[in-house]
Structure 1
Amino acid sequence: MIEASCDLTDFREVADEARRFLAMPRSRLQSQTLGAQRQPAAARGSPDAARRLFAMSQPIAGTLAERYIAGRGILLSTRERALRFHPACYYRDLVTGETRTLPALIAAVSGLDGRITGLQRTWLDPAGNGKAHLVDPRRSLGHLLGNGIWLGLQPGTPVPVMAAGEGFETMASLRTVMPALPVAAATSANHLAGLIFPPGCTRLYIAADADAAGRHGIERLSRRAGEAGILALVLQPRLGDFNDDLRHLGPAPLAAWLSDQLVPEDARLFRPSG
C-alpha cells in the first residue's frame, strides 16, 4: 500500500518508507517483510490496491470523516457501506515528490455487482476544519470508468429509478433529502458519461454541474441513456451545486426544490413525508 500511495517502484524505497513511518529498526522490519513478500504485491493504482486500502480503513462512526460529512450537512444511513476512514493515508506531492500522512475519507468505487474496483480519497484537516489544505485534496485510483460511488444500490436488484452525478458530496446531498433514491457519484465528468446503467433502469436523474466539462458529461450520458431506452432528466441546483443548496438553504427547501423537478410518481415515492 505504501508503494501504491507513494508512487514508489523499488522495494528498498518502500521498505525505507515503512521503516520511517513505523519507527522500526531495519532488522525487525526485514524479519516481518520476509513473510509479506510471499504474497504478490498489488500493482500501483490497481483495483487490488484500492481494495487493500479500503480493507485497511475503518468505519466512519466517531471519526474525522463522519465529522467532515456532517459539517457538509450530509446525513447518511449507517447501512451505507461505501464510506470508510483512514487515520494516516499517504499523500504524495506531485510537484516535489514529498510524502506525508493525513487522515482521509475513503469512498469505494464499485461495479453493479458490488465489487470494489477503485476508490476516492479525500484528505482531511487533522484539526477537523474540512478538507486538508492541499492543492489537490481529493484523488481517485483503480478502475473508475463505468463504475461509481454507489449509495443505496443492492447488487443484482433492478433499479428502475436512480440519480447520477460527478461528485460524492453532490450525490450524498440528494441521498440525504431523498434516502430511498439510489445514487451514484462517478468522480468526474468523463466517468459520468460512461456510467454503466443498472438492470431495469427506466428513469435517470442527472445532477447538473455548472462547468463545461460537467455539461459535456451530462450530454453524453443523456444520449447513452436515450439509446438504451432510459428517460434522462437533468436536476438543476438553485446555487452552485446541491451541497451548497443543502448547507445554505436547508434540507426541506432542497427536497421541495427537487420534488418540483421529479416525475410526479417519483416525487411521491422518494420525498419523505413531512
Structure 2
Amino acid sequence: MYAEKKPDKIDPNEVRLSKWLNCALSNEPLREPCVIDKLGNIFNKEALVHALLSKSLPNGFGYIRGLKDLVNVKLSKIPGEEDCGNVRFQCPITGHEFNGKYKFFALRTCGHVLSAKALKEVKSSSCLVCHEEFSELDRIVINGSEEEVAVLRERLEGEKAKVKDKKAKRVKNGEVVGIGKEEGLDSEKVSGTKRGVVETNGVEKKVLGKVEGNGKVEMVKGVSANGAVKRFKAGDMAPPNANKSVYASIFTSSRKSDFKETYSCRSLPLGRN
C-alpha cells in the first residue's frame, strides 16, 4: 500500500506577498495606474474599470458603483527593481518595502501611499511628499486587519447615509418646496428657486417665487402676486432704436391681418398653415 500524499502546505509568506503585490480583483501583479477602494483593497485600475463596464464585478465588491468610490494612488517604485521585470514599491519617506510587513496608508486628498511609521514619526497635517493638507478621516489603511476594515466599513456607511440625506433635501430641477406658517417658515432654513408652499389658515397655497431662509417669498420676474404669469409681447423686447412693429413682425406675435393674398403670392394667415 502506498502512503497517501499529504496536501501541500500553503506558505503564509506567499499569501501575504500575493495580497500586497497583486491586484485584489485580477490577481495580476500591480502596475500603475492603481486605485484603492474605501475599504483599503488595492487594484489595477484597468482591470477594475473593465469589470465595471462589463458588469462582472464580484458580489464582494458590490459597494463599488463607479470611479467616485475609488481613490487613485501613487506608489513609489524601488529603484532598480523594474529593470529586472519585478516591480516593487516602497515608502518614499522611510524606504519600507510595500510587502505586508509594514502598515501603509493611502491619503484620499492626494493619493500618496506612506508607511504608518512615517506618518507617526513626522507629525504633520499635510502630505510628506506633496504637502497637501489632509485630515484623520482622509487616511485609508491598505489591506488592514478585520478590526481596521470594520472601522472603514462603518465610515463608508456613514458617508452613504449623508449622501442620501442630501439627496432627500434636493428637488429635481432645482425646485425646493418649503412648508411654513403665515408668519414665516419654521426653524429650518429653506432656500430654493421657482416654487414654494406657504400655509395660510390651514390651506396650502402654491406661490411661484424664491423661498428665502427668513420665510419671505421673492417673486420671480414676470410673475404677478396672485401667481399669474405675465405674457410678454415681441414688441416689448425691441431694442431702443428699433421700430416696435417692424421688430414684432419677425416673430409670430405680429398681426395676422397684414398677410393678404395677391396675384403673385397666395400667402395664408398664420393660423391656417
Determine which structure has the larger helix proportion and give its number.
1
TM-score by length of 1: 0.23
Which one scores higher on RCO, CA 8 angstroms, separation ≥ 6? 1
In terms of Rg, which structure is larger? 2
Q: Which TM-score applies when normalising by structure 2?
A: 0.23
